[in-house]
Structure 1
Amino acid sequence: MCLNTVSGTATDFGYGRHCGSVVPESVADDEEFKISPFPARQKGYYSGGGNVLNHSSGQFYYVPASKVVVFETHHVYTTRVEDVFKVEGNLIFPSSYYHQQNFSNHGRSYYSHSSDSSIGETLDFEFHGFWSRATGKLCMVGSGSTYSKEGKLLHLRAVLKLNNIKDSSDINTLITGTMDSLYPADEPNYSDPVSVLMFPEGSYKYTRVSKDFSQGCPGGTDVPKNSSLNLSRTRPICDMFSYGYSAFELEYASGCDSSKSCSPLGDGDRYLPRFMYLSMIQCSDDMLSLRFRIEFTDDTYMRYSSSPNFSTSLIGEGSWDAKKNRLCIVACRIEDASGSSLEKSHVGDCTTRLSLRFPAILSIRNTRTLVGEIWSEKPRNEPGFFDRILAGDTYKNRGQTQLQGLKYEYMETDQVNKSCPKQSIKGNRRSRQYPDGYSADMAFSMTIKGPKGGNGWGSSRSLAVGDQPDQIFPFLIQSSSSRPKSSAVEADAGVSLLNISYQMRIELYNSELFPGIDPYNQSSNGYLEFLLSAEGFYDAETGNLCMVGCRRLRSHNKSIDCDIVVDVHFPPLDSDMEKSEIKGSIKSTRIKTDHLHFEPLEFSGTARYSTWARESIWRMDVEMVMSVISNTLAIVFVVLQIFHVRRHPGVCPLVSLLMLVILSLGHLVPLVLNLEAMFGQNSERSVWRRSGTWLEMNEVVIRAITMLAFLLHIRLLMFSWTARCSEEKNKALWIAEKRGLYLCFPVYITGGLIIGTARQHSSSYTEQTILGGSRAYAGLILDAFLFPQIVFNMFLNSKEQALSRFFYIGITLVRLVPHGYDLYRTHNHVNMTDSYIYADPTADYYSTAWDVIIPMLGLFFAAIVYLQQRLGGRCFLPKRFRESVTYDELPVDSEEQSPLKSST
């Protein structure tokens, strides 16, 4: 991303007047690299500065929560005063604007947000000042520039004061401070005060974990060591949290809805957050200890650039316990960190403990790959104590922390056998192929339909396939060579069924329209999200998947409802992509009077098979080659026609101008459409076009060849036009051309109206039908490009060799081969919408009927031209219409006798 950075030059604004009382000014000596208050880039957070940092305009708005600040240290100099150093650096406020766009789906309006930093400026202050190592204070003065809401350039001057900057730091160290404007409040260059909070990253000492966790995690629940996965040397604990936020869903003990000892945020706080987010701040050199920022919130989505709410946040440090295969964390409260000012923030109570581990076995009742617990070290009767809280990674983060050796254990096999009878699984067996259970084709998105008109959306992905110990799903699909030898279940009649486990995430937009789906009123404003884990059998010979599902209920006792049956049917691999759908249902097997019973949910989804993608890419490569060959042959045949008219200048005026115009436009229109498509960003074809350099290079070659063919047709048109305009005796030719226009245009218009009316009656999209039909009809006119020449020869009653045989036969074949290819493609390739390069269905009429009619028509026209140039222009008419024309026949025996002149 390009950032429009505006900055100012750090000049002396009177350091002694603004900072002399904090750190006395001194004379700098040589540059010292070993002493530095910060690392090269120190990240922090700020509050305030609203009049400069939070302005917005139009539909782009600044996110106030994205309050991240970065301090870059450029130079550090020793001075003549011991333990006082001169520091030069930049304080950067990265801006992040978000574009809001609304769209509708199923009659409801939604909003999408996309970040764009290129439209806003990054406010960059250049500071210089002095740091006292003894007191830990840093004071600097500097300047920066930004733009006001009205777009005017503002020059800013400020003083930066930071505290608690030391050579070494620990969990209790917080760098806090302020940045104040040097302009009076009544001036336009004034900026509101800014308070800063930073977690120091230089020379950090892990004091808590080395002292408290020397014997593991005191107070944590002990579990057998073999029930958790160990870390490898190639993937230490820091790598498991290096991808950003780790989100956990919290589970409280029974009765916590009204208890005062449940919240992890302190005594008397009745707020029970749903989620916990861990963000790694720093990792130790040995990659075994790390620091976290821990935030409790109800927000389902956390932006990586957002500033935490420090009133609901903790700061922690953790270390990996190799004896018990778990991560032990000590967490401390951040006190006095209000939203308006961070200057007085400090570390408070450090009695909160966390323990995280990676389960070795997954099941339908436990699909989490990272679990843990949170507890308080305080006695139960002491203020600030809270009951133990369980935590597990969310659906969005699941699988990112997966380790080698993870297994899946099937627990509901008997229930699956009862709920999924063999006859319903086997179905009607056919010779068609269905997705492989080990492939990524088993994942799909779905649209939910309720019994009362409610709608929703869902996603589904396989968690495990088979029951072998080396299964490491999800996100790592095994190849055919590494599949287990006996992962299937042998049913009666020799039918092989594959064990499979799924995770489904479902969002319902109107939960009140789904009777029984929300027994504990979990939804907020009618919106409900729930997870469904399922396991069962998949039959790759019929594409049928039958599973038993379990959904976790957000009730007081965290109960699980496993009386659910999920049926899914996948379409065959060789089916038409546009018409193939994944269909299924989610049904409750409970009796209707049960409070957990819900009405069936029907769902459908579009299949996106990887074989279709690979086949489409291969087909597109072939079509590119065919398109290059086709256009190259068109160039060759046009060149041969140019040579023909130059060898026989007398026949040059006898070529129909209308035919040459049609052929020229036939090459011009694709060039214009391709140029327009280059600027399209939302089509499926743009994804294919940008999938590889080789593909883009071939499209450039196709455009270049098409351009050359267009220019050659224009050159041939100029030959005929110049030759016809050179002599006054060519009046008969213009009369024949005019009569040809009078006949061709009504035929074209009548044919277009007939075909357009028929297509409009068969489609409800009138505008799209008219536009698409017009282009296809233009392709049909181009297929019949010889029709104007036939009419011209008929009115002229000429039998001269106006067209070279290579030209009219060759161009005819070039126009007819795509229809033969379309017949082959229809029966041998799946339909991949908007990925056609050769024989594009939108550029001509392609169907089984048209692919037969058009080639016959083209060959028929070529045969007529051949007969006309041998027997006369009216040879195919009855004898009474073959009489001599009213104008004289033009002699063309030799160039000297011909009255027609040609021009090069």
Structure 2
Amino acid sequence: MDCSIFTTPKLWFFHAFLFSVIFSLLCLNIVYGTATELNYGRYCNSVVHESKPAEEEFKIIPFPGRQYGYFSGGDKVLHNRSHMYYGRESKLLVFETHHVYATDVHHVFKVEGNLIFQTSYYYERSFSRDSSIFYSSSDSSDRGTLDFDFLGFWSRATGKLCMVGSSYIYSGEGKLLHLEAVLKINNLTSSSNISTLVIGTIDSLNSPNDPNHFEQISLLMFPRVNYNYTMVSNQFSKGCPRGTDVEPRSSLGLSQTRTICNMLSGGDNAFKLEYASGCDSSKSCSPFGVDIGYLPPVMSLSTIQCSEDMLSLRFLIQFRNNSYRGYYSSPNISTSLIGEGSWDAKSNRLCIVACQIYDASSSLEKSRVGNCTTRLSLRFPAVLYLGHTSTIVGEIWSLKTRNEAGFFDRIEFRNTETGRSRERVQLQGLKYEYREIDKVMKSCPKKNPGTRNSRGQYPEGYSRDMSFSMSILKGSQGSFGWGSSDLFVVGDQPDQRFPFLIPSSSSKPKSPGVKSDSSSGSLKISYKMRVELPTSEFKPGLNPVNQSSNEYSQTEISISAEGVYDNATGSLCMVGCRHLTPGEKSVSRNSMDCEILVKVYFPPLNSDRRSMIKGSIESMRKNTDPLYFKTVQFSGRAYYRSWVTESIWRMDFEMIMSVISSTLAIIFVAFQIFHVRKHRGIGPLVSLLMLVILALGHLIPLLLNLEAMFAQDSERSVLIRGGTWLEMNEVIIRVVTMVAFLLQIRLLMLSWTARCSSEKKKASWTAEKRGLYVCFPVYITGAIIAYFVTSRQSVHQTRRHSWYYIDQIILGTSRAYAGLILDAFLFPQIIFNMFKNSREPALSRCFYIGITVVRLFPHGYDLYRANTYADIEDSYIYADHAADYYSTAWDFIIILLGLFFAATIHYQQRLGGRCWLPKRFQESVIDEELQEDSEEQLPLKYIT
């Protein structure tokens, strides 16, 4: 055994080796990160002739600082990987212009920049907020990104740009590829309009047989500099031609501070499409005819650019085959329109002219704009009511006659009201009218609360406690779907603003038309409910048409409901409506099923923290009706504000307990260090494996939360409460944990050095090795058992068998099992004492009793917390359930086990390592020690 690992020369050699590795990696990055100077004239002189640049940097170019676009091809080097959770791979790019210089030719400019191909979810989110086609805020260092450094020349006269550059990327087999390419772009003119598309290609400069060769990549970008809104200025001077006339007073107007650009920019605006009755994929019901083979259910408006006066916009109008578009996907240009719109202040609507993009399916380089006969209008309704709660509505139509090719029937659309699209719609004057309260009162007559609960024990209607998430139940088989219920409108205030300005309990409306909780116990209320179920599990009467039969496909049902909430009983009764899909049960467009009864029962505020919100969604139709469906039961967790206040106090208390625990650990380890220094002969009698386990117990939390010590994570969020005070306390915990870890390392070094300098070090190392032979099989066997038990439970609950869930099982099980090993930190010392059979006090009483208490107190606290506070595991700071085994059974087991180990150490240090074994086994160990001592003295006897 090498005992000189902590000596100074070896530490110096280790530091020198680490420095050389880091320096080599930096040099490698610099070498490959620098663009290679290529022969521009050989590849680009025929496009834009090379000219001598001036030293002064030019300020004008048709590209902005960042120009976004799309690409196709290049699968060999980009090796896009379609992920089951991210769906279709991304096909997005960004061109960053770094420098532009004038040359000796007045219309030719030298350009330096880089072209980034985004092929995965992570990097797409790193793009700027400047264009809503892209999303923001995340790490940009993803392996799927290809970044070319380009240098070339642009001709303002011809609108052509030619550049050469290089990049590097790892192939799918892990081999480093050094790529050289030429970029050619057309239509890069000083001004543009709706028909202008910036198109181009990237070709490899390597021969086809070269491993670094890649196939041609075509690209498409929409220019953003000096754009002329020619279509809307010419056609919309007199409103939207052939659009449905709507009374201007029925729509909300905009103001100088709330323009159309403010309302629609900054994200993807998704809308549900509603086709005319009888439409299907075999008829010309969409702008793309029957060639695409389906009717797009969703349309989205992605803002490309806003005009300077904030009254006109450019859109990429995408028609998608699914209702969800995450951060991963890029649009299908073949089923997209390019449009420009302008706000009509007279009719309070946005008028949009849209054109088709042709030939984009074969190659983006061949894309062109034509057929600008599609029109759209969009408005913001002034009055909402049950079944008509969309804050943005509109229509799509064609200027062609019914007999002309390309004609399609009028399509209506409404916003989906999901994500951030709801937050942007907050216009002054928006009203809500209750029209089905009489039906609610007949369906749910008010009951006398009697003496079951006193008034005021249920949440008030104006509080946030009324919104909740829910699990859809399926008998005794547990949940098989999920959903959410969000407050839409509370009361009937004429000046109430939607959607996130619902008054709190401290600011109830005083208008006489509003009945408050204090007067009658009843309150008018409106909800938006969203239920997502597996397609295969849909009840009769709910099953939409054209749904995938995939086992894991999900289908969403949106229900708007209004009714009465009774504060005295905590019961909520509502009548709901859902839009019916055209073709579903032979219904027509705008048909709704409003024969839906929703019942919700809230638990009292003073109830058990594990109480559930329960409810049902019922059909009021007869069983023979084709729209009838079986009752859907659901439940949800209640997170009341009073519970949240207690949880905040609990989190503060747990912060203090974490600091105290780490501080006590420092004190107890310091006692052991003094104990080892005071008694020179006991250092070799301390189990090194025990000290390593304790050191790792402090090191692993530091590694998992290292960023909290140095910087604040901008995307970090904490349930219930997040702020500087909480983060400062976490940093304090990390610092105290770091001190405890350093002291553990110091104790390990002292024990190691003492054992190496001991005269009987062979006996100590023999006992240590035998302890390892016992402990490691026990730990490995326990890990295997824990993994299989956890995996079976998780597979049963989730019914999924993907690698993602396996990773979660492995990581979660490993962390909890590591906490269990740390709770039993005395086990290696007990085994070591058994083989060493020493009566020496190797461990200080303050050390093994104190650390045992530090490890067992969280389990005692967990028993108290489970019966006192709301069960919000994501907010646990002390006794975190993810870091150990915590349950009523495990808490008792671990507490008893820890006390047993501490008592065993106490008697071993008084009576011997095998004091609890029969006497003949103790004597065999003594004989063995005498035999080892005689063997050590054997060479001396021979010399004598």
State TM-score, norm by structure 1: 0.72
Which of 241, 251, 259 is 1:218 aligned to? 241
Task: Give the whole-Å Cα distance in 1 for the aligned partners of 2:817 and 2:688.
Answer: 21
Structure 2 residue 598 is matched with structure 1 residue 570: no
Which of 260, 279, 288 is 2:302 aligned to? 279
Deviation per CA, 1:102-141: give whole Å up to 9, x if none: xxxxxxxxxxxx99852234231413134142xx331424
Deviation per CA, 1:756-798: give whole Å up to 9, x if none: 9xxx9xx999x9999989978996999xx9xxxxxxxxx99xx
**What is the RMSD computed on CA atoms of the aligned residues?**
5.9
Q: Aligned partner of 1:544: which letter? A: S
The 1:425–1:301 alpha-carbon spacing in structure 2 relative to 1, beyond 3 Å, is farther
The 1:420–1:244 alpha-carbon spacing in structure 2 relative to 1, beyond 3 Å, is same
Q: Aligned partner of 2:382: which letter? A: A
The 1:776–1:430 alpha-carbon spacing in structure 2 relative to 1, beyond 3 Å, is farther
The share of aligned pairs that are identical, in percent, is 47
Q: Which residue of 1 aligns with 2:533?
A: 508
Q: Which residue of 1 aligns with 2:331?
A: 308
Q: Decide which moves more: 840-849 or 699-708.
A: 840-849
Q: Which residue of 1 aligns with 2:389?
A: 367
The 1:592–1:166 alpha-carbon spacing in structure 2 relative to 1, beyond 3 Å, is same
Deviation per CA, 1:691-742: give whole Å up to 9, x if none: 74213213224425645886899999999999x999xxxxxxxxxxxxxxxx
Which has the higher Rg, Structure 1 or Structure 2? 1
SS of the aligned residue for 1:52 comes to helix
Structure 2 residue 111 is matched with structure 1 residue 88: yes
Structure 2 residue 320 is matched with structure 1 residue 297: yes
Q: Aligned partner of 1:616: which letter? A: S
Q: Which residue of 1 aligns with 2:635?
A: 604
Consecutive unaligned residues in structure 2, runs of 5 or more: 1-28, 123-137, 709-715, 761-777, 795-808, 830-837, 912-944
Q: Which residue of 2 aligns with 1:700?
A: 734
Task: Give the whole-Å Cα distance in 2 for the aligned partners of 1:667 and 1:517.
Answer: 57
Task: Give the whole-Å Cα distance in 2 for the aligned partners of 1:78 and 1:68.
Answer: 28
Contact 1:5 / 1:122 at 8 angstroms: preserved in 2?
no
The 1:184–1:544 alpha-carbon spacing in structure 2 relative to 1, beyond 3 Å, is same
Structure 2 residue 589 is matched with structure 1 residue 561: no
Alignment of 1:453-468 (within 5 A): 455-468=480-493
The 1:5–1:120 alpha-carbon spacing in structure 2 relative to 1, beyond 3 Å, is farther
Q: Which residue of 2 aligns with 1:166?
A: 189
Task: Give the whole-Å Cα distance in 2 for the aligned partners of 1:781 and 1:36.
Answer: 67
SS of the aligned residue for 1:239 comes to helix
Q: Which residue of 2 aligns with 1:881?
A: none
Q: Aligned partner of 1:343: which letter? A: E
Q: Decide which moves more: 668-677 or 202-211.
A: 668-677
The CA deviation at 1:187 is 4.4
Alignment of 1:476-487 (within 5 A): 476-485=501-510
Contact 2:688 / 2:751 at 8 angstroms: preserved in 1?
yes
Contact 1:178 / 1:193 at 8 angstroms: preserved in 2?
yes
Structure 2 residue 863 is matched with structure 1 residue 830: no
Task: Give the whole-Å Cα distance in 2 for the aligned partners of 1:276 and 1:284.
Answer: 23
Q: Aligned partner of 2:558: which letter? A: L
SS of the aligned residue for 1:423 comes to coil
Which of 577, 584, 599 is 1:550 aligned to? 577
Which of 395, 409, 413 is 1:387 aligned to? 409
Task: Give the whole-Å Cα distance in 2 for the aligned partners of 1:149 and 1:850.
Answer: 48
Q: Decide which moves more: 142-151 or 284-293.
A: 142-151
The 1:210–1:815 alpha-carbon spacing in structure 2 relative to 1, beyond 3 Å, is closer
SS of the aligned residue for 2:40 comes to coil
SS of the aligned residue for 1:349 comes to strand
The CA deviation at 1:418 is 1.2
Q: Which residue of 1 aligns with 2:766?
A: none
Q: Which residue of 2 aligns with 1:739?
A: none
Alignment of 1:182-331 (within 5 A): 182-257=205-280, 262-265=285-288, 272-303=295-326, 306-331=329-354
Task: Give the whole-Å Cα distance in 2 for the aligned partners of 1:704 and 1:155.
Answer: 45
Alignment of 1:412-427 (within 5 A): 412-423=436-447
Which of 58, 72, 76 is 2:97 aligned to? 72
Task: Give the whole-Å Cα distance in 1 for the aligned partners of 2:394 and 2:307.
Answer: 22
Which of 200, 209, 227 is 1:177 aligned to? 200
Contact 2:576 / 2:597 at 8 angstroms: preserved in 1?
yes
Alignment of 1:786-825 (within 5 A): 825=865
The CA deviation at 1:575 is 5.0
The CA deviation at 1:414 is 0.7
Contact 2:81 / 2:89 at 8 angstroms: preserved in 1?
no
Contact 1:13 / 1:141 at 8 angstroms: preserved in 2?
no
Deviation per CA, 1:317-358: give whole Å up to 9, x if none: 111122222111111222x32322233433222222211111
Consecutive unaligned residues in structure 1, runs of 5 or more: 100-113, 727-748, 786-794, 797-801, 866-871, 874-904
Q: Decide which moves more: 826-835 or 660-669.
A: 660-669
Q: Aligned partner of 1:362: which letter? A: L
Q: Aligned partner of 1:292: which letter? A: F
Q: Which residue of 1 aligns with 2:560?
A: 533
Higher helix share: 2
The CA deviation at 1:26 is 4.9
The CA deviation at 1:478 is 3.8
Structure 2 residue 662 is matched with structure 1 residue 616: no
SS of the aligned residue for 2:391 comes to coil
Q: Which residue of 2 aligns with 1:745?
A: none
The 1:288–1:426 alpha-carbon spacing in structure 2 relative to 1, beyond 3 Å, is farther
The 1:317–1:613 alpha-carbon spacing in structure 2 relative to 1, beyond 3 Å, is same
SS of the aligned residue for 2:655 comes to helix
The CA deviation at 1:193 is 2.8
Contact 1:777 / 1:845 at 8 angstroms: preserved in 2?
no
Task: Give the whole-Å Cα distance in 2 for the aligned partners of 1:773 and 1:176.
Answer: 56
Q: Which residue of 2 aligns with 1:896?
A: none
The 1:544–1:283 alpha-carbon spacing in structure 2 relative to 1, beyond 3 Å, is same
Task: Give the whole-Å Cα distance in 1 for the aligned partners of 2:353 and 2:613.
Answer: 48
Contact 1:522 / 1:554 at 8 angstroms: preserved in 2?
no
State TM-score, norm by structure 2: 0.70
Deviation per CA, 1:216-236: give whole Å up to 9, x if none: 323322323332222232232
Q: Aligned partner of 1:14: which letter? A: R
The CA deviation at 1:194 is 3.2
Q: Which residue of 1 aligns with 2:40?
A: 12
Task: Give the whole-Å Cα distance in 2 for the aligned partners of 1:118 and 1:848.
Answer: 44
Contact 1:46 / 1:342 at 8 angstroms: preserved in 2?
yes
Q: Aligned partner of 2:620: which letter? A: T
Q: Aligned partner of 1:591: which letter? A: K
Q: Which residue of 2 aligns with 1:404?
A: 427
The CA deviation at 1:390 is 0.9
Q: Aligned partner of 2:573: which letter? A: C
The 1:566–1:11 alpha-carbon spacing in structure 2 relative to 1, beyond 3 Å, is same
Q: Aligned partner of 1:209: which letter? A: V
Task: Give the whole-Å Cα distance in 2 for the aligned partners of 1:845 and 1:342.
Answer: 57
The 1:459–1:630 alpha-carbon spacing in structure 2 relative to 1, beyond 3 Å, is closer
Deviation per CA, 1:796-822: give whole Å up to 9, x if none: 9xxxxx999999999999899889977
The CA deviation at 1:269 is 8.4
Q: Figure out how many residues of one structure are paired with residues of the other and give that number.
A: 812
Q: Aligned partner of 2:371: which letter? A: D
The 1:710–1:590 alpha-carbon spacing in structure 2 relative to 1, beyond 3 Å, is same
Task: Give the whole-Å Cα distance in 2 for the aligned partners of 1:717 and 1:645.
Answer: 8
Contact 1:517 / 1:599 at 8 angstroms: preserved in 2?
no
Alignment of 1:665-814 (within 5 A): 671=698, 674=701, 678=705, 692-704=726-738, 706-707=740-741
Task: Give the whole-Å Cα distance in 1 for the aligned partners of 2:400 and 2:752.
Answer: 96
Q: Aligned partner of 1:543: which letter? A: G
Task: Give the whole-Å Cα distance in 2 for the aligned partners of 1:24 and 1:839.
Answer: 70
The CA deviation at 1:13 is 4.0
The CA deviation at 1:282 is 1.0
The CA deviation at 1:386 is 2.8
Alignment of 1:631-650 (within 5 A): 632=663
The CA deviation at 1:646 is 11
The CA deviation at 1:522 is 5.0
SS of the aligned residue for 1:145 comes to strand
Contact 1:35 / 1:76 at 8 angstroms: preserved in 2?
no
